[in-house]
Amino acid sequence: MAAPAWAQAAGSPGEALARAARAQVGVTTDYDPAYVRLAYPGGDVPRATGVCCDVVIRAARDAWQMDLQRLIHEDMTGRFGAYPQAWSLARPDTSIDHRRVLNLETYWARMGAQVWRAVRPVAGQGFPGSLAVGDILTWRLRIGSRPHVGIVVAGGGDSRVVHNIGQGAREESLAALRELMPAGHYRWRPARA
């Protein structure tokens, strides 16, 4: 069995996730939230388009060969009631469950990856604690409270994230995301064999 890409390249799993997120900039140039029936496992919409969740899904597949579509489906199949019931579904749906921020937040919390989660989304740009490259952040839009997700690709004084908020995968300064309210901080990494 081949070693994961992050193990073959210099750096940590978080750095590999960040590199895989950055590799989507200029490739994913559109945003399309339409429901699409996907193959399972490993299903994806065309890489030129997608939603914010697709940035994380693709980065995990490319960096770690981890399939969030399969992982979330398997977890939801066993614990459907633990997941948000915001969509009035009677059972898991492999085409969409992994493409919903609320389900991703639930999955990461269930897997012990939650660093911080707001009781309710908070105004301001601050996430408590330090951000590491490869961390995953979630927000709520100030207008409409829609959820959003992105990956930290640079830490320090000018933390940067890769996300897709409507114009394709982009790298931006965390400080520039004024329309977003911090909601969650996750440090999800591949399981060690």
Q: Specify the pLDDT at position 128.
A: 87
Q: What are phi and psi of 141, to 5 degrees?
A: -65, 140
Query: pLDDT tens per residue, the chain (193 residues)?
Result: 454 554 555 689 999 999 999 999 999 999 999 999 999 999 999 999 999 999 999 999 999 999 999 999 999 999 999 999 999 999 999 999 999 999 999 999 999 999 999 987 766 657 888 999 999 999 999 888 899 999 999 988 889 999 999 999 999 999 999 889 999 999 999 975 3
Q: SS3 for 168?
A: coil
- What is the per-residue DSSP string for 16-42? HHHHHHHTTTTT------------TTT
**pLDDT of the residue at 10:** 61
Per-residue pLDDT, 158: 86
Bond from prior residue into 182 cis (ω within 30 degrees of 0): no
Report the distance separating Cα 192 and Cα 37, nearest Å: 32
